[in-house]
Structure 1
Amino acid sequence: MREDVSGWQVRVDDATMARYAASGDWLGKTVAEFARELAERDPGRVTHVFDGEACRVAELLADAEALAAALQARGFVAGDVVSFQLPNWREAVVIDLAAAMLGLVVAPIVPIYRDAEVAYMLADAGARAAFFAPAWRGFDYAAMMARLAPSLPELRLLSAVRGDAPHADSFEALVGERRTLRQRPRIDANAVKLLLYTSGTTGRPKGVLHTHNTGPATLRRAFRHWSQHEGDAVLMASPVTHITGFSYGMELPLCFGTRTVFMERWNAAEAVELIEREQVTASMGATPFLHELLAAAEAGGHRLPSLRIFACGGAEVPPALIRRVREVLANCRAFRVYGSSEAPLVTLGFVGEGQLDAAAETDGEIVHYEVRVVDDEGGIVAPGGEGEICVRGPARCVGYADPQQSAESFDADNFFATGDLGRITPDNAIVITGRKKDLINRGGEKVSAKEVEDILHRLPGVEEAAVVAMPHPRLGETVCAYVIPRPGASLTLEDVLEGVAAAGIARQKYPEHLVVVDGFPRTASGKIRKDRLRADIRERLQAAS
């Protein structure tokens, strides 16, 4: 443990830093330094494409330096946190690069989040700047930030991107000042550079800490394992505020010379067009993306010969879907992968000849991670046995912003307990068999059951509530609420949705089904048997179909 320049306690010591530096896993450079090296070699290199706009590395760097200088002039120093809540826009890359130049910590916030989540994240992060779109997809972010700002005393700078907002500086004006940096601070690549919030089983989001070193470690492993090359194009529909869109979308091109073609909103027919026009070679995403891409390609008679790989994860992946890729697409190998915000891409999939069964039936080959499978007492299970997956490696996060959450999730050997149950096959692959964590995986978006339960328990007609995952044909899982009403109360799904909406959380967390019951199945100690509730809703849905 050591204290980062940001003030957080991180789970990395001198021996770990020396080991990963000596092995070449930690490259000791920031994304801004990678970008400068690329710009020196090829200033006109197109690294990102946003809505048809080709972005060249030298132009991105010039805007980032201007933004960094504007922030420096306003007193921002290494370790300060800057947040952005943006769609897949060019400005997110500029903010990330500018932050790296000054040693600032970026805290991306997913655009689906509303007042309750955003207020918590900005306060917990101690964010000093927040960049946001004034309005997007019918939601008024400017009004939300105006509501939240008075209760966030550490927030010194509000900046509206692509528009104006009250009491906010224009992003375009900040860059347009065209200042130059008074000095270029020396940035420690072992310092925290990314604070990424993920759903916690307690209902309170967890702030995941990554350094300048852990991100490129992930990217280089994938780049090599998937036989990618400079100039290869990656289609990215995942948000830049998720670990996938942030790392493999925004930063991979700057570090290793690929080109990311971003989609602001997923549309399978548009994805087919982009793959053909941009000669996309790789993509990644959750199960619905791959399923709908195949359907659109097949319906239009498109074989998409440029597409070589599709990494699929984040939600349950049916083996038949992986096999079908070989039938529909000319040259593409699809495979399952496993990882999280805390431990990106623990597995990288099976991509070789003769590995289709492994690609379809396992959650991928373990590459450059140490993995333990442990029982409830923390003991290592016998080979092939089931238990909780625990991981350690150079690409894994260095802890949580909350030291108590870190203490609960990391053991004495610095292995991170993922909360997922599984086993390791003789081929060194992981097979996930279940979850210890009470999370609902809605198309790759994790929803905390307890967060929704806490809201339901505040509703006047609810005596007790339990929230579980419900099967969904497109998303894999979605939210189902079981409720015991108070005496004399009657509850409908509309009543519940009205109360949940008033809590100011993302719509993706709203229950999509309500079951009113007289009591819950319980253990001998009184805990609700959620396994039985999950089985019950499956049976109800099957009976209704």
Structure 2
Amino acid sequence: MQDRALDVAMLVRRAEGVFGHKRVVTATATGEGAATWGEVVARARRLAGVLDLLGVPPGARVGTFGWNSQRHLELYLAVPSSGRVLHTLNHRLFAAELTYIVADAADDVLFVDRSLLPTVWPLMADLHTVRHVVVMDDGGDEPIPGDSRVFDYDALLARVREPVAAAVVAEDDAASLCYTSGTTGRPKGVLSSQRSIVLHTLVLLGADAFAISERDVVMPIVPMFHVNAWGLPYAAAMAGADLVLPGPRMTPDALASLLTRHRVTFTAAVPAIWRALEPLLPGLDLSALRMAVSGGSALPISLSQAYDDVAGVTLSSSWGMTETSPLVTCARPASTQDGLDAAARREILCSPGRSVPLTELRLLDADGHIVPHDGATPGEVQVSGPTIANGYFGAGAGQESITDDGWLRTGDIGTIDADGCLRIVDRTKDLVKSGGEWISSVTLENAIMAHPDVLEAAVVAVPDRRWGERPLACVVVAPGRSLAAEDLRAHLAGRVASWWVPDEFRFMPEIPKTATGKFAKVALRRQVADPAGPLI
């Protein structure tokens, strides 16, 4: 066999040589822009020359603060292909977190969308490793600082007349860096290799994963600043799919317009986005949409059912982590489940699903014993495979989550049935232990959100003198609806064990979320511990 490296440059050559005519559309603050994959690659090759002009060393981290856009896509292609490391940064994090992450990564240069300058520029006094800031004009009207370290993206690109050849890299060299959301402590850096990106891209093209092909129009609503938009930009490049990028226009109306006008066939987002789009479904033509995927947190059965009933769209679940590239599982009913009734099949679609190729799952109990795949016995979910991280980068390097035999400890508690279908019971830190028995906050949240008047629900443990802990349910009522605790107790009767029913329901205007759209349980626990916390 030929000794050829699996690297990002391989995807670039394929997009240029086979699919150069296919389209990349970007929504901007003032309209839309479009280019072909051939034009995008040509600009990316010159962008590698821009990194040379700026004196960015091989292996250096190139930070990006950007929406889903063509320029961000060009960075996705140029930075790893030139032998540097693409470091996507989540601008929704707190300033202290961003300062810590940039310092830990030792970013050499930052590429920043103009609309995000108010978030980034005030941090510059504390970003001691950053030598240059390159502004990408996304149509924002924010003033550009008059500083010698600041450059304009397109002006720099115009200075590079000829494309720059891809660097010679080893397939195990780092290609991208992303930090975890820091839900259990400080964010930790996860480096993805050139090889792992190519393998993960191939997985996304698989028939039992996302099945992305040349015929697709792919719209990643999941942000390019978090876990490489689940690898979807790279998958579109390899498959030759058209790509629709929503840019800074992330309102439900703007997203709905893109989905319908461009006849999007595949899209992915977190449940909060799907919930925000739900009221618009009656007026949308989503007949082209063959697959809509939810991830980041549990997909409520009621939400998936609403998409099917109103728009004829199958909204299904997936599961993964920053440490896993991220896709590990995808919810697709197996042939052995063809005889199940509609309700049972809906449960499967809303579960994480089976592991995708190249990944393996196992469950371990508290004593380190392997748990059988009987669909009932829970254990800690552990993952292994060539797209799974083997440790952390920077200051997080000592915080290992790898077992002695090389499996990643996810911190999730789950079950796996005989068909290989994973179900997440809870995070280890979010289980409620009441009277010596465990209550799954995830299962209880889903049961509460099945009520038609509930918009969102999150469950946390609170101290109890008699039982040790009891579940407290924080509930956001759907707009225009009214709800009382008695209504929810009646709703839960028969859906969960009677002793699972919360003693207290706290109605709130909103539930705090992390920068990636997950329930911020740490912040929520602090909020409910305050006797003066919001009650309505």
Tell me whether the two structures share a fold, i.e. TM-score over 0.5: yes
1:413–1:156 CA distance, 2 compared to 1 (3 A): same
Decide which moves more: 319-328 or 387-396.
319-328
**Partners of 1:86 and 1:199 in 2: CA distance:** 17
Q: Counterpart of 1:254?
A: 237
SS state at 1:230 partner: coil
SS state at 2:277 partner: helix
SS state at 2:79 partner: helix
1:350 matched to 2:320? The reply is: no
**Partners of 2:473 and 2:87 in 1: CA distance:** 31
Instruction: Note if contact 1:389-1:419 (Cα within 8 Å) is conserved in structure 2.
Output: yes
Residue 122 (structure 1) shift: 1.2
Q: Counterpart of 1:158?
A: 133
1:404–1:327 CA distance, 2 compared to 1 (3 A): closer
Residue 303 (structure 1) shift: 4.5
Match of 1:338 among 305, 319, 327: 319
1:431 matched to 2:431? The reply is: no
**Partners of 2:272 and 2:119 in 1: CA distance:** 28
1:68–1:390 CA distance, 2 compared to 1 (3 A): same
1:292 matched to 2:284? The reply is: no
**Partners of 1:49 and 1:240 in 2: CA distance:** 13
1:43 matched to 2:20? The reply is: yes
Amino acid at match of 1:147: A
SS state at 1:195 partner: strand
**Partners of 1:59 and 1:357 in 2: CA distance:** 42
**Partners of 2:125 and 2:365 in 1: CA distance:** 47
Q: Counterpart of 1:381?
A: 371
Residue 437 (structure 1) shift: 4.5
**Partners of 1:96 and 1:517 in 2: CA distance:** 44
Decide which moves more: 85-94 or 320-329.
320-329
Residue 181 (structure 1) shift: 6.3
Instruction: Note if contact 2:392-2:399 (Cα within 8 Å) is conserved in structure 1.
Output: no
Amino acid at match of 1:379: H
Residue 69 (structure 1) shift: 1.1
1:286–1:80 CA distance, 2 compared to 1 (3 A): same
Q: Counterpart of 2:193?
A: 211
| Aligned pairs for 1:66-145 within 5 A | 66-136=46-116, 140-141=118-119, 143-145=121-123
**Larger relative contact order (Cα-Cα within 8 Å, sequence gap ≥ 6):** 1
Q: Counterpart of 1:458?
A: none
TM-score by length of 1: 0.72
**Partners of 1:60 and 1:404 in 2: CA distance:** 35
Residue 324 (structure 1) shift: 3.0
Amino acid at match of 1:256: A
Amino acid at match of 2:67: P
Q: Deviations over 1:199-221 (max 9, x none)?
A: 23552111011111212322322
Instruction: Note if contact 2:12-2:237 (Cα within 8 Å) is conserved in structure 1.
Output: yes
Q: Please, which runs of 5 or more residues in structure 1 have no aligned partner?
A: 1-17, 443-467, 476-505, 519-536
1:50–1:94 CA distance, 2 compared to 1 (3 A): same
Decide which moves more: 284-293 or 401-410.
401-410
Q: Counterpart of 2:125?
A: 147
TM-score by length of 2: 0.73
Match of 2:348 among 359, 368, 375: 359
**Partners of 1:290 and 1:517 in 2: CA distance:** 31
Q: Deviations over 1:154-193 (max 9, x none)?
A: 3222222227332312222221111446764212122111
Q: Counterpart of 2:289?
A: 307
Q: Counterpart of 2:217?
A: 233
Q: Please, which runs of 5 or more residues in structure 2 have no aligned partner?
A: 138-142, 432-440, 446-470, 479-516
Residue 73 (structure 1) shift: 3.5
Residue 416 (structure 1) shift: 0.3
**Partners of 1:395 and 1:339 in 2: CA distance:** 11
Instruction: Note if contact 1:50-1:90 (Cα within 8 Å) is conserved in structure 2.
Output: no
RMSD of equivalent CA atoms: 3.5
Instruction: Note if contact 1:211-1:398 (Cα within 8 Å) is conserved in structure 2.
Output: no
SS state at 1:417 partner: strand
Instruction: Note if contact 1:31-1:254 (Cα within 8 Å) is conserved in structure 2.
Output: no
Instruction: Note if contact 2:317-2:351 (Cα within 8 Å) is conserved in structure 1.
Output: yes
1:278–1:181 CA distance, 2 compared to 1 (3 A): closer
Residue 341 (structure 1) shift: 1.1
Instruction: Note if contact 2:331-2:349 (Cα within 8 Å) is conserved in structure 1.
Output: no
Residue 130 (structure 1) shift: 1.2
**Partners of 2:242 and 2:472 in 1: CA distance:** 37
Q: Deviations over 1:439-465 (max 9, x none)?
A: 9999xxxxxxxxxxxxxxxxxxxxxxx
**Partners of 1:305 and 1:321 in 2: CA distance:** 18
Residue 246 (structure 1) shift: 5.6
SS state at 2:328 partner: coil
| Aligned pairs for 1:497-512 within 5 A | 511=523
Residue 279 (structure 1) shift: 1.0
Q: Deviations over 1:108-156 (max 9, x none)?
A: 11121343122111111111111113443xx61453243224xx1x322
Amino acid at match of 1:340: M
1:367–1:292 CA distance, 2 compared to 1 (3 A): same
Q: Counterpart of 2:527?
A: 514
1:253–1:273 CA distance, 2 compared to 1 (3 A): same
Instruction: Note if contact 2:401-2:409 (Cα within 8 Å) is conserved in structure 1.
Output: yes
Residue 230 (structure 1) shift: 0.4
Q: Counterpart of 1:416?
A: 408
Q: Counterpart of 1:266?
A: 250
**Partners of 2:105 and 2:321 in 1: CA distance:** 20
Match of 2:263 among 243, 263, 279: 279
Instruction: Note if contact 2:331-2:350 (Cα within 8 Å) is conserved in structure 1.
Output: no
**Partners of 1:202 and 1:315 in 2: CA distance:** 16
Instruction: Note if contact 1:134-1:161 (Cα within 8 Å) is conserved in structure 2.
Output: yes
Instruction: Note if contact 2:19-2:240 (Cα within 8 Å) is conserved in structure 1.
Output: no
Q: Counterpart of 1:61?
A: 41
SS state at 2:355 partner: coil
**Partners of 2:430 and 2:181 in 1: CA distance:** 10
Instruction: Note if contact 2:136-2:152 (Cα within 8 Å) is conserved in structure 1.
Output: yes
**Partners of 2:259 and 2:121 in 1: CA distance:** 37
SS state at 1:288 partner: helix
Instruction: Note if contact 1:86-1:132 (Cα within 8 Å) is conserved in structure 2.
Output: yes
Instruction: Note if contact 2:8-2:77 (Cα within 8 Å) is conserved in structure 1.
Output: yes
**Partners of 1:336 and 1:182 in 2: CA distance:** 40
4+ aligned runs moved over 4 Å, structure 1: 181-184, 403-407, 437-442, 508-513, 515-518
Q: Deviations over 1:447-493 (max 9, x none)?
A: xxxxxxxxxxxxxxxxxxxxx99745499xxxxxxxxxxxxxxxxxx
**Partners of 1:196 and 1:205 in 2: CA distance:** 9
**Count of aligned pairs between the two proteins:** 437
1:284–1:169 CA distance, 2 compared to 1 (3 A): same
1:196 matched to 2:178? The reply is: yes
1:374–1:326 CA distance, 2 compared to 1 (3 A): same
**Partners of 2:291 and 2:476 in 1: CA distance:** 24
Percent identity over the alignment is 23
